Amino acid sequence: MEAQTIQKYMHTSPRKLRLVASLVRKMEPVKALEALRFSNKDAGGDLIKAIKAVMANARIKGMENLSFKAIEVQEGPKMRRFRAGARGRARPYKRKMSNIKIILTDEKGGEFEARNTKHETNSK
């Protein structure tokens, strides 16, 4: 069984979130929360919020022994902003947003086992 959540329009750039997501991708969700709580990255707070949401969804479905099947960080829309420049000009920049998609499963192996079997069938 699977539980999923999608957190949209997080005001953190995707690059910063992907860096933090790669730290916890192979951990159990409970251990990932502890690791993120003590990391020095501010993007960890957004990922903690998403992990807590997907764990609540799994608890409602009655799932136990959870593991990550997928953590995807995608680009959201960009907010266009301007900063004052020299000689009265405006210097444009973009504030990037992210969408986080997390899928939890209660099966052993998860995504990594499925990748290996898929790769083996293609090589034959």
CATH top-level class for 2-123? alpha beta
pLDDT(65) > 70: yes
Per the CB < 8 A criterion, the answer to whether 1 and 106 are in contact is yes
Which residue is listed with tokens 């900063």? 83
pLDDT tens digits, one per residue of 89-123: 999 999 999 999 999 999 875 554 444 444 455 55
Instruction: Please tell me the pTM assigned to this model.
Output: 0.81
Exposure b/e, 27-66, CB count within 10 A at least 16 = b: eebeebbeebeebeeebbebbbebbebbbebbeeeebeeb
